[in-house]
Amino acid sequence: MTKIKRYDFELRMRVRDYEVDVQGIVNNANYLHYMEHTRHEFCRNAGFSFADMHRQGIDPVLRKVEIEYLTPLTLGEDMVSCLSLCRRGPRFVFVQDIFRAADNEPVTHAEVTVVCLEGGRLTKGDVLAKAFEKYLK
């Protein structure tokens, strides 16, 4: 796996001591945290943070996560967490890849599917699509 031609957002992070297990590698669940943090930063950077959405009664929620673990990260390593956004009907799909910063080695690859609740009800996500239209091709 190599970096795709274009990501909508990239975020550099470093592995912290509490994220590694007894083997000295990042615990598998922490990659999901890295990806969630990347999605939140993407939204904030795009001008529509999760707090903004919630105040307007819009709540994106996870529907499905598929992740491939390719190469482990260890304590102190830097990574680049990348995402691109597309839409499949009412679903928003984030293709998310993490790479080791030092050598661009692929660490994880994931597809994260999100649906949109408005006022607590499942919707087609048109309000969210409008907010992120410049990323949805």
DSSP state string for 31-96: HHHHHHHHHHHHHHHTT--HHHHHHTTEEEEEEEEEEEE-S--BTT-EEEEEEEEEEETTEEEEEE
- Is residue 21 part of the annotated active site? The answer reads yes
Q: Which of 131, 44, 55, 119 is nearest to 92 (CA)?
A: 131
Which of 8, 21, 78, 103 is labelled catalytic?
A: 21
Residues labelled catalytic: 21
